[in-house]
Amino acid sequence: MKGNEATMLDMVMGLPEQMAEALERSGKARLGRIPRPQGVTVAGMGGSAIGGDLARDLLRTESPVPIATNRDYAVPASLGPRSLFVAVSYSGNTEETLSAYRAARRSGCTVAVISSGGRLAASARRSRLPLVTVPGGFPPRAALGHLFVSLLVLLERAGLLHRVERRVGEAVSLMVGRRQAWRRRAKLIAKRLRGRLPVVYSTARLLDAVADRWRCQLNENAKVVCHTNRLPEHNHNEVVGMGRPGFLAERTAIVSLLDRGTHRRTALRLKNVLSIAGGGYADAQTLQSEGRGSLARMMSLVMLGDLASVELAGQTGVDPLPVARIDELKRRLARAK
């Protein structure tokens, strides 16, 4: 295994320890009083935004207020004094997030920040906003444990979710106990994805962001395009287009993510979709979440996907660490003020 592959693999395998550390760090952060909001917006891009999507899915069945993610320069008109806005940027210098942060501050809502530094953390410090500082030195996508758990702690402080410590603890034990087996499984998953277009289907709302995480990790670590969709919505449009164009389907591998919360009718739908329209595809595999609580189940498939993306990079001779095109784009945009 080459240097960078081992480094990324170590970071992915260390996700549970990172989550445990994040719990401790954010517990100590001086967050002050965060009023209970009527709506939450989490602003971020890429690896910093996905934690917001995971939180949205996790809180879907338990939070009395809606949570939305915002991936743009502008913020929704609904932001107001009773909203909580959390700006998440690992570097603290992502221009879309900084722009949304400035707009949110003008709207008079409660603003909190999660970052390792940069202009965002500096501004939050100056303005004495609730701030969780996460450790630097990771590629943002590999800092998911810090970014996501810090957000959960913040949301708990705002009264929107409970027992974060216990739930993170459960997820951490599951991940530590299962990670070697998941690594072996990830090798087999990667083998079935090699040289193919991965298509990842989520079958439960708890797994929608997990499917998106699979896509982003396959994009950035394995450097491949990936398509995602969710059932049952897929059954009302994409099912019609499945298999075409044929040359693509022949080289497409479907991965379906299942959870014990998958509606039994949705599971039945998946089975029928694969038998009606799955014929022309190179491969189809189904993966089931593990664990008891919703956070543990979610993280079981996040970690398996992260591992599969690193394995696929290794099997295809790709360096999982650099994201040269993202860096180049950021450089060009910075020059073109």
Q: Catalytic annotation on 191?
A: no
Candidates 220, 223, 290, 311; catalytic one: 220
Q: Which amino acid is at 132?
A: V
Instruction: Check if 330 is active-site.
Output: yes
Cβ(306)–Cβ(275) below 8 Å: no
CB 97 within 8 A of CB 116: no
Instruction: Give the max Cα distance, the chain.
Output: 59
Candidates 4-12, 20-28, 87-95, 155-163 — which segment interacts with ligand F6R by CB under 6 A?
Answer: 87-95
Give yes or no for residue 134 binding ligand F6R (CB under 6 A). no
Three-class secondary structure of residue 61 per DSSP: coil
The reply to whether 28 belongs to the active site is no
Judged by CB under 6 A, the residue of 48, 110, 123, 202 near ligand F6R is 48
Stretch near ligand F6R under the rule CB under 6 A, chosen from 11-19, 42-50, 79-87, 298-306? 42-50
Q: Is 108 helix (H, G, I), strand (E, B) or coil?
A: coil
Return the residue nearest ligand F6R (CB atom). Answer: 46
- For tokens 């087996």, the residue is 181
Tell me if 140 contacts ligand F6R by CB under 6 A: yes
Our CB check for ligand F6R shows the closer of 41 and 94 to be 94
- Least separation in angstroms between CB 112 and ligand F6R: 15
CB atoms within 10 A of CB 247: 9
Site for ligand F6R in 181-240 (CB under 6 A): 220
CB 201 within 8 A of CB 256: yes
97 or 203: whose CB is closer to ligand F6R? 97
Residue 171 C-beta: closest distance to ligand F6R, Å: 21
| Nearer to ligand F6R among residue 48 and residue 294 (C-beta) | 48
- For the stretch 319-327, contacts whose Cβ atoms lie closer than 8 Å and that sit 24 or more positions apart, written own/partner, are 319/2, 319/4, 319/5, 320/4, 320/5, 320/8, 320/220, 320/221, 320/222, 321/4, 321/7, 321/8, 321/139, 322/4, 323/139, 323/220, 326/46, 326/220
Q: Does 69 bind ligand F6R (CB under 6 A)?
A: no
Nearer to ligand F6R, 51 or 314 (CB): 51
When binding is defined by CB under 6 A, the residue of 31, 45, 197, 298 that contacts ligand F6R is 45
**Closest to ligand F6R by CB, 90 or 148:** 90
In the bound state with ligand F6R, the residue whose beta carbon lies nearer, of 100 and 254, is 100
Q: Which is nearer to ligand F6R, 212 or 220 (CB)?
A: 220
Q: Which residue has the tokens 């189809």?
A: 284
Tokens of 281: 């595809």
Binding mask 95-114 for ligand F6R (x = CB under 6 A): --x-----------------
Residue type, 23: L
Q: Is 318 in the site for ligand F6R (CB under 6 A)?
A: no
Token representation of residue 57: 């899915």
- 320 is a site residue for ligand F6R (CB under 6 A): no
The nearest distance, CB 125 to ligand F6R, in angstroms, is: 17
- Kindly list the distances between the CA atom of residue 172 and the CA atoms of 18, 93, 165, 293, 300, in Å, as whole numbers in the listed order: 9, 30, 10, 12, 10
Is residue 91 a contact residue for ligand F6R (CB under 6 A)? Answer: yes
Minimum distance of ligand F6R from residue 35's CB (angstroms): 26
How many residues make contact with ligand F6R (CB under 6 A)? 15
If binding is defined by CB under 6 A, does position 294 make contact with ligand F6R? no
Q: Which of 41, 23, 294, 8 is nearest to 148 (CA)?
A: 23
**Residue 102: how many other CB atoms lie within 10 Å:** 14
- Cis amide leading into 64 (omega within 30): no
Which spans of this chain sit near ligand F6R (rule: CB under 6 A)? 45-48, 89-91, 94, 97, 139-141, 220, 323, 326
Report, as residue numbers or ranges, the catalytic residues.
Answer: 220, 236, 330
